[in-house]
Structure 1
Amino acid sequence: MKIKKLILPLLPVFAVIGLIVFNACKDAPNAGSNTTASTGLTVPAGFNAVAIAENTGSPRHMVVTPENDLYVHLANNRKGKSILVYHIDGDKATLKSTFGDFGGTGIAIKDGYLYASNNTDVFRFKLNDKNEVVPQAQPERIVTGLIGRRMHEPKAICLDNDGNIYVNIGAYSNICSDYDPKATGCPILDSAAGIWQFKVNQPDQHYGDGVHYAWGLRNVVGISWNQQDNQLFVMQHGRDALHDLYPNLYTEKQSAELPSECMFAIKKGDNAGWPYVYYDWMQNKNMLGPEYGGDGKKPADPKYINPVAAYPGHYAPDGLLFYTGSQFPEKYKNGAFIAFHGSWNRAPLPQAGYCVVFQPFKDGKPDGKWEVFADGFAGANKSPGGAAHRPCGLAQGPDGSLYVSDDQHGTIYKITYKK
């Protein structure tokens, strides 16, 4: 009894110590890491990072051909063009050509076509046998008329193996509070906050021509087709302002850490639950949102799918890539790299993210704790305005090298491994 009386007053102290240790470790790079002098990036031992292109504009997503040509989609036109093509020779990138007149995010190559999106449409360009865009060829518009408003408007894309393309349509809202969700539900769910599936070879498809493939996803920028599992995977940006909107239910610290940024394995018809639910990575469960009667303790309706992996709040996942190469050590094979763009709203905690992490996989599903793979992009100031660089897109080269885009100051990095 005396021991119990002695320990009980110290429990809050132990909790704080544990919290400090957790926060100190979770953003730390792998043991045995090294910092590359030329870039300032920290990567695991045996890896090297170089900047192969700088001042490119605002590069978002990228794709690399078997011929080592890197296609980079810019958020905005640069000198009238929005897609840059670099030829990669070792650690040197030479600009070959530019084309396209629509800024955006999504880009992909499959079966002789290059696909690229702006904020309302998806286009494709015919490629020749060297995976080069046919000169003077006009893009074919395959999807048009998607909602693109100021908030969450980029359209990330990916393709499966059956002639379909998947397009994210982000919610133009934080939590659908612009309406009266208790009375009417969230009316924007019919045309936003989800993933739509379209055919790759049909021109000018609208909403009605596609399939509303998945529901309840606030905003997805990282999206990829998992070849090992033959399934769609996405990274969701979680909601904001739990404390600001409900200070009686959530502390500032809870609001900084919640809700989770989530990885979902998506099947047709899945509903991830936005705006009605959010995921709490500290309790490891879906929670009912406070707008719908939640109090930080009530669980969500089990009809909503759970994420397959969860990460601290507000890291902003903008890139997702499954590593299928053989250059990196075996532990990376079929695992996922995630580019976290970085937070703006984790006060009173320090801002975080601004890194590339690795999520181990086994048999097509996450397996084990994620770890920081590449860090140091932001430099000394982890904030949207002050960061030196912010990771956004990921691409894999034919030799297994990993490419990372920075849409803050236009740098493209190449990360390699040597035994």
Structure 2
Amino acid sequence: MHKLFRPACMTAAVAGISSLLAFTGDISALKPKADTPKLATSIKVPQGFITTIVAEDLVGARHMVVSKSGDLYVKLSKLKDGKGVYRLRDANKDGVPEEVTSFGDYKGTGITIKDGYLYATSNSAIYRYKLNEKEEIINPDQPETIVTGMVDTGRDNSKSIALDDKGNIYVNIGSSNDACREAGTGKGMMPCTLLDTVGGIWRFKADVKNQTQKDGVRFATGLKNTVGLDWNRKTSSLFVLHHGRGQFHDFYPQYYTPKHSALLPSEAMYELHEGDDAGWPYIYYDHIQKKKMLAPEYGGDGKKTGGKNAINPVVGFPAHLGPNGMLFYTGNMFPARYKDGAFVAFHGQNSELKQGYFVAFVPFKNGKPSGQWEVFADNFAGIDLAKPSGPVQHRPCGLAQGPDGSLYVSDDMNGTIYRIAYNK
């Protein structure tokens, strides 16, 4: 029997479904006692918004997607009872999922729904599952294998995905090497041969089986690791969140102070088109100076600019915040100012700013950021980061939009799934 994680406020009337976690049959006939979702009163959101807890104990919950019927599919980076994808169904629409099923014997990050299929990734492959008209999986035990053999070094290896409207799937293939240094030296490799197989976005056909990495197109390069990405249908372009490298002061104290290392290099949002180069490892972005800077491995000293042919980010964030999820909001529940803007889930913290573990919002207008980014939902850490009194409790990772326009946030530390709604 599977050990059931705890949907928020689950009642005794539904506790007996733990034996039905695997796809063993339709349990929609169950009519559990209606319940009230648990309020997440510790999460700070703007006036008019309310946060509830959908589920708990889904440790390793990464990216998510919601079907048109409201089923929430969650991809796990750690197997739970041998499964890596969990489906949560709130059949009676009381805000508490009482139907839970699981499938897929692989761990990973990426998951999305497009054109009648659910796509999910391991750390080296992409699979897809046929859906019926209600976007329910028809045969969870027999997925189609779309891509295999993508580089997996065991670190910075999440295969986050997004699909366009022309039958293409885009996947992050990150680098576990921060700076592409020559072994035993502080000098960078020139050229950096890592870029042949990692450090960018690859594009594959979404409906062709058994592709390998060599069958894909390196769509964009110069991106160390981009866990968060989303296809913007307003601009018909891919947006990604780049994780900056680290350890400036550790390796180059003659150029960088500990404070420099705490604030730089920027985490950054890029809009990508085929052939774009964001410049890693040769350069980094400095959001304070708003300049592309030459990396110290390649002759930089914190003052020299570089990357003449590298694209500029559309937004620069402070270092080490770990942007892991991005979602362009297309719903109608939230106030109009949020329409078409980008939500960003930050998975880490900045020790200098004493800030982290929050969901931000970037306003957009005409396909471009139209103002300063702002903190939208905060205090997932559950502690004062300036004067911590204990361990961090939750780390935002994935974002998903419900058919009603609500926003779901996953926590990959303790496995809590939150739902943020606007109380009109």
1:72 aligns with 2:74: yes
Q: Indicate how the Cα distance of structure 1 residues 183 and 278 shifts in structure 2: closer, same or farther if over 3 A, else same.
A: closer
Which residue does 1:213 correspond to in 2?
219
Which residue does 1:48 correspond to in 2?
50
Q: What is the count of residue pairs matched by the alignment?
A: 380
Distance 1:214 1:386 in 2: 38
**Which residue type is aligned with residue 94 of structure 1?**
E
Q: Indicate how the Cα distance of structure 1 residues 302 and 51 shifts in structure 2: closer, same or farther if over 3 A, else same.
A: same
Matches within 5 A, 1:224-235: 224-235=230-241
Deviation at 1:92, TM superposition (A): 1.4
Verify the 8 A CA contact 1:105 1:118 in the aligned structure 2.
Answer: yes
Deviation at 1:204, TM superposition (A): 1.3
Q: Which 5+ residue runs of structure 1 have no aligned equivalent?
A: 1-35
What per-residue deviation string (whole Å, max 9, x for no partner) do you get for residues 13-63 of structure 1? xxxxxxxxxxxxxxxxxxxxxxx9644100000000011101122110000
Matches within 5 A, 1:189-268: 189-268=195-274
**Which residue type is aligned with residue 367 of structure 2?**
G
Which residue does 1:58 correspond to in 2?
60
* Residue 145 of structure 2, aligned match among 136, 141, 146: 141
Distance 2:391 2:154 in 1: 22
Aligned-pair identity (%): 51
Distance 2:140 2:323 in 1: 35
Deviation at 1:135, TM superposition (A): 3.4
1:418 aligns with 2:418: no
**Which residue type is aligned with residue 83 of structure 2?**
K
Helix, strand or coil for the counterpart of 1:220? coil
Verify the 8 A CA contact 2:348 2:357 in the aligned structure 1.
Answer: yes
* Residue 160 of structure 1, aligned match among 164, 167, 174: 164
Which residue does 2:24 correspond to in 1?
none
**Which residue type is aligned with residue 404 of structure 1?**
V
Which residue does 1:341 correspond to in 2?
347
Moved over 4 A (4+): 178-183
Verify the 8 A CA contact 1:381 1:387 in the aligned structure 2.
Answer: no
Helix, strand or coil for the counterpart of 1:63? strand
Which residue does 2:392 correspond to in 1?
387
Verify the 8 A CA contact 1:223 1:233 in the aligned structure 2.
Answer: yes
Distance 1:226 1:79 in 2: 35
**Which residue type is aligned with residue 382 of structure 2?**
G
What per-residue deviation string (whole Å, max 9, x for no partner) do you get for residues 276-332 of structure 1? 000000100110111101111111131011101111111000000000001000000
Helix, strand or coil for the counterpart of 2:214? helix
What per-residue deviation string (whole Å, max 9, x for no partner) do you get for residues 342-372 of structure 1? 13xx45x255320000000011111110000
Distance 1:290 1:371 in 2: 31
Deviation at 1:91, TM superposition (A): 2.3
Verify the 8 A CA contact 2:230 2:240 in the aligned structure 1.
Answer: yes
Verify the 8 A CA contact 2:180 2:188 in the aligned structure 1.
Answer: no
Matches within 5 A, 1:311-390: 311-343=317-349, 346-347=350-351, 349=352, 351-380=354-383, 382=385, 386-390=391-395
TM-score by length of 1: 0.88
Verify the 8 A CA contact 1:159 1:166 in the aligned structure 2.
Answer: yes
| 76-85 or 157-166, larger mean C-alpha shift | 76-85
Helix, strand or coil for the counterpart of 2:156? coil
Distance 1:278 1:101 in 2: 38
Verify the 8 A CA contact 1:84 1:95 in the aligned structure 2.
Answer: no
Verify the 8 A CA contact 2:39 2:53 in the aligned structure 1.
Answer: no
| 290-299 or 329-338, larger mean C-alpha shift | 290-299
1:397 aligns with 2:402: yes
Verify the 8 A CA contact 2:72 2:88 in the aligned structure 1.
Answer: yes
* Residue 95 of structure 1, aligned match among 88, 95, 99: 99
Deviation at 1:178, TM superposition (A): 4.8
Deviation at 1:136, TM superposition (A): 5.1
Q: Indicate how the Cα distance of structure 1 residues 249 and 72 shifts in structure 2: closer, same or farther if over 3 A, else same.
A: same
Verify the 8 A CA contact 2:179 2:188 in the aligned structure 1.
Answer: no
**Which residue type is aligned with residue 47 of structure 2?**
A
Verify the 8 A CA contact 1:358 1:373 in the aligned structure 2.
Answer: yes
Q: Which 5+ residue runs of structure 2 have no aligned equivalent?
A: 1-37
What per-residue deviation string (whole Å, max 9, x for no partner) do you get for residues 96-153 of structure 1? 3111111110001011110000111000011111111113540111101011112201
Q: Indicate how the Cα distance of structure 1 residues 37 and 209 shifts in structure 2: closer, same or farther if over 3 A, else same.
A: closer
**Which residue type is aligned with residue 49 of structure 1?**
T
**Which residue type is aligned with residue 156 of structure 2?**
H
1:176 aligns with 2:185: no
1:290 aligns with 2:296: yes
RMSD: 1.6
Verify the 8 A CA contact 1:125 1:137 in the aligned structure 2.
Answer: no
Which residue does 2:192 correspond to in 1?
186
Q: Indicate how the Cα distance of structure 1 residues 232 and 38 shifts in structure 2: closer, same or farther if over 3 A, else same.
A: closer
Helix, strand or coil for the counterpart of 1:321? strand
Which residue does 2:128 correspond to in 1?
124
